[in-house]
Amino acid sequence: MEDKIWALGERFAMAAIDGDEWLGALRAMAELTGSSYGQLIGFAPGEVPFNWINDIGQDEIARFVEQERGDPNINVRVRASLNDEAFVIRSEADYRAVGRGSGFDLYREMCDAYDIMDGCQTKLLEGGGRFVGLALNRSRKDGKTDAETRALFAAIAPHARRAVKMQIALENRGSALIAGALEYVGLPIFICDEAGNLKGETGEAAALLSAGRFRVMDGKLGLPHPRDDAALLKAFARRHRQPLGIETLLLHGAGKQMPMVFDICRLPSQPYRLSLASQILVIVRSGRRWHEAAPAVLRAAFGLSAAEAEVTLALARGVTRDQIAAARETSTQTVKTQIKSIFSKLGVSREMDLTAMLGDLLRR
């Protein structure tokens, strides 16, 4: 039997390298233990990021997850292992002992429908309110687990844990590979998870860190101004919950400084990805992409009119008042009046201060 366990361990190791092998490895675990199904599942607060079970369709699993969401008041298996450390084995007796939560009847109906009420399970990894679990799910024909089955499952679990840790390590290195690929885009781009932990950045993004426009504390990407810092963190959480689409943030900073504009999006999850964290890109607008957004930014940030925004951009490019008046087919006095209003709204007193505030990012 020991040889068979080691052979299964090798299958788990291969799955860590090639995710398509996970279902085959779980099926082999089920067969070795006389069970119908092997399962690898991830839990995070309020969600189930992945749930892989051999020989049950992903659509069916998705419907199951949509109903129970890993809620311990519904899912008796989660309830039984909630406070466990890794490698504590729970089974049918534990499911009965923890009692039935308010939504248990729904869970029982779903398990009856898929014939997976019995089995055993353990946590493989845990941290930050999240954990990865391994389980055997047994049909009525399989019967309940016995001491021998649970002992065999306990011997298998460390091999599965090593494979899970190996794959997560490889996935974490993937952020560095993505950052390297994004260098060719030529934009300041940070790669973070939903908690703001910095996983990688392009060279231009690193320059923003060096310049103090961003900061990293305890591994988390942040901004110098507390209000902006809080807004960025909330945006990470939103993109984790709502993975589709791009969110644009306008953050003001402090003092006479041009706001920064970020586009924030979440990379799509890959099949058989184990990491429970999201990969979120923070793309800092610069160059032409910034300039195209500048009129809207100036209007939103400082309450400038459309005309005042255009005059402001012209001044930042070094255009004289007379040239601005000619280009806009208006009088120099009108331009002077607009500039006075602009200075008041931006909190500057000279064109030199305005140009310094907007900086080179607004130059074509």
| Reduced 3-state DSSP string for 179-230 | HHHHHHHCCCEEEECCCCEEEEECHHHHHHHHCCCCEEECCEEECCCHHHHH
Read off the tokens for 157: 């679990």
Q: Dump pLDDT digits (tens) for 10-49.
A: 999 888 888 889 999 999 999 999 999 999 999 887 788 8
d(CA 220, CA 235): 14
Mean pLDDT of 60-78: 79
CA dihedral 172, 176, 179, 180 (to 10 degrees): -150
Q: Is pLDDT at 288 greater than 60 in this prediction?
A: no
Res. 361 pLDDT band, cuts 50 70 90: very low
> Is residue 303 within 8 Å of residue 215, measured between CB atoms?
no
Res. 210 pLDDT band, cuts 50 70 90: very high
Q: Is pLDDT at 185 greater than 80 in this prediction?
A: no
pLDDT number for residue 258: 65
Read off the tokens for 73: 């008041």
**What sign has the CA pseudo-torsion 345, 351, 352, 355?**
positive
pLDDT number for residue 257: 63
> DSSP state, 142?
T
> Is residue 23 within 8 Å of residue 52, measured between CB atoms?
yes
pLDDT number for residue 141: 94
Res. 297 pLDDT band, cuts 50 70 90: low
Average pLDDT, the chain: 84
pLDDT number for residue 30: 96
